[in-house]
Amino acid sequence: MKRKVYIETSVVSYLTARKSGNPIVSGHQESTRELWNRLNELDVFISDLVLQEASCGDEEQARARLDALASFRALEVDDEAKALAKTILAQRAVPEEYPEDALHVALATVNGLDFIVTWNFSHINNPFTRMMIRQVVENAGYVAPEICSPDELLGDEI
């Protein structure tokens, strides 16, 4: 059975961004391309929120992001996900200034996905935030998806 993966907006942004001269960012871009080439090994989901975020900004870049996402199933933002996102924010697992980040986590969680793949180290994918998110999600009665970067997922046996 394929692992179920939620692709957060930062991943497709790295995929379609112009080549960076920064070696760290360039490495993230390369890891993202490698992951993208292996997505057929996974059951991939995005969300209406990802599509909304991907459509913002530079028109050419937005089109490239939306084209890259076109083949994936989009999860709807429903009341259950909204309620869990509010809980995540209220319990400060994600800063209240970033409700979209809490909603990404909630969408993957309520839909029973195995992984959230993100380059968002500020508000989703860092050790402290992951620990807080897991605690809040599990206290709410859900199984928390693993939060990881494309690098980390590629290191796993997909």
3-state secondary structure of 144: coil
Residue extents of the structural domains in the chain: 4-155
Tokens of 9: 């907006």
In angstroms, the first-to-last Cα distance of the chain is 10
Backbone φ and ψ for 42, nearest 5 degrees, come out as: -125, 165
What count of other Cβ atoms lies within 10 Å of the Cβ of residue 25? 14
What is the C-alpha to C-alpha distance for residues 157 and 150, in angstroms, rounded to an integer?
13
Per-residue pLDDT, 1: 85
The answer to whether residue 155 scores a pLDDT higher than 90 is no
Prediction pTM value: 0.94
Q: Which tens digits make up the pLDDT trace of 68-101?
A: 999 999 999 999 999 999 999 999 999 999 999 9
Q: What is the rounded average pLDDT of the residues 107-124?
A: 97
Side chain identity, residue 65: R
What is the C-alpha to C-alpha distance for residues 55 and 13, in angstroms, rounded to an integer?
11
Per-residue pLDDT, 157: 55
Q: Does domain 4-155 have CATH number 3.30.43.10?
A: no
Q: Which tens digits make up the pLDDT trace of 119-148?
A: 999 999 999 999 999 999 999 999 999 999
